[in-house]
Amino acid sequence: MSLIVMGISHRSAPMSLLERLSLDTSHKQALTDLLLAGEHVDEIALISTCNRIEVYAEASTFHGAVAHIGDAVAAVTGVDREELNTAFYVHYEDRAIAHVFSVTCGLDAMAVGEAQILGQVRETLARGQATGSVGHQLNLLLQHALRVGKRAHSDTELDRYGSSLVETGLDRAQAHVGDLTGASVLVVGAGAMSSLVATTAARRGITALTVVNRTPERTSRLAAATGATACAWEDLPAVLAEADVVLSCTGATDHVVEAEVVARAVEARDGRPMAFVDLALPRDIDPAVAHLPGCLVLALEDLGRDLSEVSLGGEALQQVQDLVVAEVAAFLLARRQESVGPAVAALRQHAAAVVRTELERLDSRMPGLDDQARSEVKLAVHRVVEKLLHTPTVRVKEFAAAGRGAGGDYAQALRELFDLDHAHVATVTRPPRRGGAGDLR
């Protein structure tokens, strides 16, 4: 079994392609089910955000898994397989582990250091655990990744230097409409990103803050938490006319801010400029709004270009990179040690069964043996077996930890030398199946 990461992100594809790869909840489940139905994959975790879609897989074959993942993504998204191949990247084993840890830390984010990915990885793990798509190996990987991500933000200077999509959007909007402390700012949506938007706006001293969302309860909750005004969804056209800056991030599949509605708002504003920051994928704001007089529209792709020009402080970046390298080594060490664990456990179970059988034979042949003598014999036999097993069990763990060959080779040697039950060991090392290296460019 091997770990594979295969995906497409803002680093390998334009936002126009990522927009077409955006998945809602039902599509995420459909893709997960399709992936698990293949013979080459045993565990699956799916990361789908506004700037990446990645499949983390525990696979039985490399090439078979890569082909299956690519075909499954094409089938669920409707994007041509050949087009996907121009943007797919693949990481294998230690490079895959390093990639997962880097993503969780925020090193691979559009806004380097963005902490939102931590919550997205946590949700991915919880969803995989609930549906059974995440087994023992991916559970260990993602749990470790979350610990690494938390350490990146608590033990390094990452947060000090990290730039935010929201901050960048607000800065660009301010350059267009003027000082935001006296501006009217509208937040469309009330999810995790919208909450970040509203919180960031309030922290910057914006007091004329309004929240609009389809769900009244969530709208009221977010407004109360940030000192904003909550408005009903049907009031959006009226609120738009008053807004100097609009930041939108909903889960809608169509535009929620239409050009026709904005055009009427522009007419009522007497030439005052408007800025629109679209943080959604697919886009919330009709791109045609950009052609209206006085309107600036910023999409994720625009913000990404801005952020690519902002370099993270060298010391902070090196701290996080060093952390990732150290944690990859620690994870590989733990995994190598664990790889021989089932074989060692099976060896000890086998030895215990042999001892039990021989002691029962002794009882049948010497029924008159008194209790004290029987106890001494049992103790002596157990000591002999323990001494005989001690060196091979310790040594095999040391060899695996030192990376002297694949840990699985030592486990195989134990099985062969001691004639252990292969099926029994396999049930410990491989989860039950559900259902039925490089760049690809």
Q: What is the pLDDT of residues 313-324, one digit of tens each?
A: 567 778 889 999
Res. 332: pLDDT tops 70: yes
pLDDT at 411: 66
Query: Per CATH, the architecture of 165-308 is what?
Result: 3-Layer(aba) Sandwich (3.40)
Winning range, highest mean pLDDT, from 174-183, 186-195, 375-384:
174-183
pLDDT at 234: 94
Task: Specify whether domain 2-161 bears CATH 3.30.460.30.
Answer: yes
Per residue in 74-114, pLDDT tens? 999 999 999 999 999 999 999 999 999 999 998 888 777 77
Residue 266, both tokens:
């522009």
> pLDDT exceeding 90 applies to what percent of the chain?
52
pLDDT at 336: 72
CB 248 within 8 A of CB 229: no
Q: Which residue has the tokens 């087009």?
A: 83
pLDDT at 426: 47
Q: Determine whether 50 is an active site residue.
A: yes
Res. 149: pLDDT tops 50: yes
Q: Do domains 2-161 and 165-308 have the same CATH topology?
A: no
Amino acid at 210: T
Per residue in 334-347, pLDDT tens? 777 666 667 777 77
Res. 163: pLDDT tops 70: no
For residue 381, the SS3 value is helix
pLDDT at 144: 96
Per residue in 38-69, pLDDT tens? 899 999 999 998 889 999 999 999 999 999 99
Q: Kindly report the pTM of this predicted structure.
A: 0.67
Q: How confident is the model at residue 7 (pLDDT cuts 50, 70, 90)?
A: very high
pLDDT at 231: 95
β-sheet bridge partners, residue 43: 58
pLDDT at 425: 45
Res. 185: pLDDT tops 80: yes
pLDDT at 16: 87
Res. 279: pLDDT tops 70: yes
The more confident residue out of 113 and 216 is 216
Domain residue ranges in the chain: 2-161, 165-308, 322-429
Q: Which of 50, 105, 231, 295 is catalytic?
A: 50
- Nearest partner of 5 among 48, 73, 66, judged by Cα: 66
Mean pLDDT of the region 137-151: 95
CA–CA separation, 68 vs 52, rounded Å? 19
Mean pLDDT of the region 180-204: 90
Backbone dihedral region of 212: left (phi > 0), alpha (psi from -120 to 50 degrees) or beta? Answer: beta
Amino acid at 201: A
Res. 394: pLDDT tops 80: no
Res. 348: pLDDT tops 90: no
For 167, the enclosing helix (H) or strand (E) is helix 165-177
